[in-house]
Chain A
Amino acid sequence: MFRLLASTGITSLLIFYCFGEVSAQDAQPSDDEVNTIAKQLYCPVCENVPLDVCGTKACAQWRDDISDKLADGWNEEQIKQYFSDRYGIRVLAHPPTQGFNMLFWLLPPVSIIIAWFLVLRTNHNIFRKKHMYKQSIAKQVRAEEYIGQLENDLEQWR
């Protein structure tokens, strides 16, 4: 009985050791995989510096955290959410689309649309008065001929 238990235990340990070590080697992410996520996060200490190029110890520790989490099977969104929950939304590349931050996303397109609308409205007389300028187009054609003749004359004079 004792021999059976001992051999089972030793066998289990060996299996665990072999497979456990192989699993750790397979899961170790490359620098590129870490940087793909680090590039989308921002250092809270040195503001406006992405994590993949930041040289501080804190940022190095963060990159190690990303590496560990990738090795544990976390995906990109989970890792970003983890850092955002822990250090605040300032670590993300842009504000999330919720709450007060909706203003950030809505204001530029709404303002641009309003501006274009106002400009179009101010110049709506283009459509109303366009017919008045049909005659002026004929005048312009005559003016073109006149200008062409004038240019030739000036060139000869020079």
Chain B
Amino acid sequence: MLALLCAIYAATVSLSVARSDRLKWVDSARNAAIAVWPLLTFACFCMTYLLINERFEIEYVARVSSHAMPWYLKATALWGGQAGSLLFWAWLMSTYTALVMLRNWHNERDMQPFVIASTMTTLAFFIGLNVFVENPFTKLWIDQSGHIQASFLAPPGAKPFVPNDGQGLNPLLRHPGMIIHPPMLYLGFVGFVVPYSFAIAALAIGRTDNLWIRVTRRWTLIAWLFLSLGLLLGSRWAYDVLGWGGYWGWDPVEIAAFMPWLTGTAFLHSVMIQEKLGMFKRWNMILIILTYALVIFGTFLTRSGVLSSVHAFALSAIGPLFFVFIGITFTISLTLLFKGWNRLDSENILTSWLSREGLFLLNNLLFMGILLACFWGVIYPIISELVTGQKVTVGPPFYERTTGPQFAALLLLMGIAPLTAWRVTTARRLGKIIWKPTVFSLIFPVYALTTGTTNAVALLSLWLAAFVLCVTLYEFYRGASARRKATGGNLLSSLWNMIARNRRRYGGYVIHLGVIFMAVGIIGIEMFQAETQGTLAYGEQINIENYVMIYNKIEEFDTEDNRRVTRAIVSVYKDDKFVAELYPRRDFYVDSQQPMTIPGLYSTLEGDFYVLLVDWKPIGTESATFKIYLNPLMNWLWFGGFIFILGTLVAAWPNRGPSLYRQSTSLSVNPPDIVL
């Protein structure tokens, strides 16, 4: 409650003195904004204490915790349910805003009141939900008739009720992924509130320069890093426990988290054009407003119960409140944008499509096209039910068909754009640079052809990935070579120094390398996955491509955390050679009466042999049913993800030594790496 009051005070005071010189009141609002953090930290600490100490008289604790859970899962149950995750969300946002408030505002005094107002309004909304709608500290009470209810204050005539045990987390959430995936995702979501707030502040005070972008660049990159990490970890978690041999199911809640990533990625690219040439100012405003709106919208979808999903929380009363909040904030954002529309004129105009800024414009369009397909696929079932009363499903085939070609086009742009110059590149000049990596990249599809791949789409996709890889490596080579000639060092030290001196650019290229490897993994599993299912008795075997699996044995045992485990032991042979013994199993959680299947996995760079015990058929010594997936190149996805994250860290790392900033010019061709 105190935190809510501080947030409301900060928002209202800063807004009321925004256009005046009453700096003391702005400082007061700033202090109130900072004060929210320790208050929410205390609240989170209290809830974590209650969870670990099994205080089941608290309704939230009874719902998400149990005796059988290990202590680390009890702690992470803070974000295992609606109310606790909202508290955790608010705490993370208060951490971001406190750090923003603690920075030196000397150069941005005029923006400060609006940044405080924007961040605190968002924070106040989430804290308000916790206080009035989904309060994690409500207690359980039993009245004289034996009826149990949950409320913050004691109902008349009721006594505190303490259950013997809690329900415990959903078995799907009892995984190490639970420790890290939600925090990463939330850090990504809430992080985008910072650049959004600065953008709104710039619109409110009529600033059209790049200040808000310069100030928030690292904040945006860090938010994007966490969101990317959250999505990657979520994919890995799904691969490990959801039991369908895949990493991404185009589930509506997955898409809800993916959409702000799309606009955030487009924004990170597009701001470069504004910084260099004073162009795309309107685009950048639209992209950051959309990113913020999609963050709140995604939260609404996940938490309102509007959509059914393995990821979604149950139906909740917060849905309408979220809807109203999205409506108000989006309307205010668009109003400010349209009021400042004419001021956001570009300082230069596009002179050639075959220029870096021209290709970045295409980049923006493609990201928006993918966003449109995703958004439409998510909301159409809701629209259909509202208008016609008929429920429909929008499954993976729609998304793959609509986004696949656009992702391929983005990949192509990733290969061409780094080789183009600012303002204009001639086709001849581009051809001179691009022919070598293009020719070299043809080796890969030719090799794929010789190994028996005849699918034209697969060959084209492989060539595209190889092309971008060759271009990116060529860019590293060209830069390091030029540096070596100028400084006389060896190629490796030249490469290191080159990256160190321009981390933003070459960090970006490392991210692109990560994307390429991930694309290879995705091509492998999407185009070459094989699967089979069969029922085996002891000693019987099942074949899939060049693999043979033999069913050896079944074991059943109980664990300390109240699971009944049924575990199969199978032997896997590849090309008649023994490669692994695997243990696919079914865990039955006795307290929640829910099963979960854990695959047996044999993993190499070439691909994964992924076997599941099919738990809706009889499992025993006479027979057991197994489902096997062969997922070629799967580990390139995870490896690429690692490179992706590494590249983001390089790009976000502060540069050494003094940096000099150059004003945008109208005649700049391949601007040097130094910043004047």
Question: B-contacting residues of A (Cβ < 8 Å)?
Answer: 30-32, 35, 42, 44, 46-50, 52-53, 55-57, 59-60, 88-95, 100-101, 104, 107-108, 111-112, 115-116, 119, 123, 125-126, 129-130, 133, 136-137, 139-140, 143-144, 147, 150-152, 154-155
Contact = CB atoms under 8 A, between A and B. Distances in A.
Interface string B582-623: 000000000000010000000000000000000110000000
B449 to A, nearest CB: 27
Given A104-B376, A137-B424, A93 B392 contact: no
B390 A90 contact: yes
Contacts of A133: 351, 423-424
Given A35-B533, A139-B667, A100 B384 contact: yes
B424 A140 contact: yes
5 contacts: A35-B531, A94-B395, A100-B388, A130-B351, A151-B672
A155 B308 CA distance: 60
A107 B376 contact: yes
Given A48-B251, A95-B394, A119 B672 contact: no
B539 interface: no
B669 A143 contact: yes
Contacts of A89: 390, 392
Chain B's interface size range is: 35 or more
B372 A108 contact: yes
Interface in B344-359: 349-353
Contact of A123 (B310, B350, B668): B350
B393 interface: yes
Given A31-B535, A107-B376, A123-B350, A90 B393 contact: yes
A82 B222 CA distance: 51
Nearest to B373: A108
Contacts of B365: 115-116, 119
Would you call the interface of chain B mostly helix, strand, loop, or mixed?
A: loop
Contacts of B353: 126
Contacts of B669: 140, 143-144, 147
Interface in B381-417: 384, 387-388, 390-398, 402
B655 interface: no
Given A101-B384, A126-B352, A150 B672 contact: yes
A50 B244 contact: yes
A155 B487 contact: yes
B239 to A, nearest CB: 13
Nearest to A45: B308
B372 A31 contact: no
A123 B353 CA distance: 10
Given A52-B244, A116-B365, 6 more contacts: A31-B625, A55-B615, A90-B390, A136-B351, A136-B667, A144-B670
B376 A55 contact: no
Contacts of B387: 100
Contacts of A32: 531-533
Contacts of A130: 351-352
A82 to B, nearest CB: 17
A142 to B, nearest CB: 10
A95 B372 CA distance: 17
Most buried by A among B380, B391, B393: B393
The 9 closest A-B CB pairs, nearest first, are: A31-B533, A93-B395, A47-B308, A90-B391, A53-B244, A140-B669, A95-B392, A42-B393, A55-B616
Given A32-B533, A104-B376, A108-B373, A47 B368 contact: no
Contact of A48 (B393, B398, B534, B670): B393
Interface in B324-363: 349-353, 361
A147 B672 contact: yes
B369 A112 contact: yes
Nearest to B406: A112
B533 A155 contact: no
Interface in B285-314: 307-310
A157 to B, nearest CB: 11
Contacts of B372: 108, 111-112
Nearest to A35: B533
A150 B671 CA distance: 12
B243 interface: yes
A53 B243 contact: yes
B393 A93 contact: yes
A78 B215 CA distance: 60
B153 interface: no
B22 to A, nearest CB: 42
Contacts of A42: 393, 395
A95 B373 contact: no
A73 B190 CA distance: 55
Contacts of A57: 616
B486 interface: yes
B380 A95 contact: yes
Nearest to A46: B308
Contacts of A90: 390-393
A4 B432 CA distance: 94
Nearest to B615: A55
B252 interface: yes
A101 B625 contact: no
B674 interface: yes
Contacts of B534: 30-31
A92 B667 CA distance: 55
A88 B423 contact: no
B349 A125 contact: yes
A115 B362 CA distance: 11
Nearest to A134: B424
B309 A48 contact: yes
Nearest to A155: B486
A149 to B, nearest CB: 11
A88 B388 CA distance: 13
B243, B310, B372, B625: most-surrounded residue (chain A CB, <10 A): B372
B613 to A, nearest CB: 11
B384 A88 contact: no
A93 B307 CA distance: 16
A60 to B, nearest CB: 5
B424 A94 contact: no
A44 B350 CA distance: 51
A35 B629 CA distance: 13
A47 B393 contact: yes
A134 B311 CA distance: 56
A115 B391 contact: no
A129 B351 contact: yes
B397 A93 contact: yes
Nearest to A36: B531
Nearest to A150: B672
Given A94-B397, A129-B349, A55 B595 contact: yes
Looking at A49, A56, A123, A125, the one whose CB has the most chain B CB atoms below 10 A away is A49
B408 to A, nearest CB: 15
A94 B376 contact: no
Chain B CB count within 10 A is highest, among A30, A90, A152, for A90
B368 A115 contact: yes
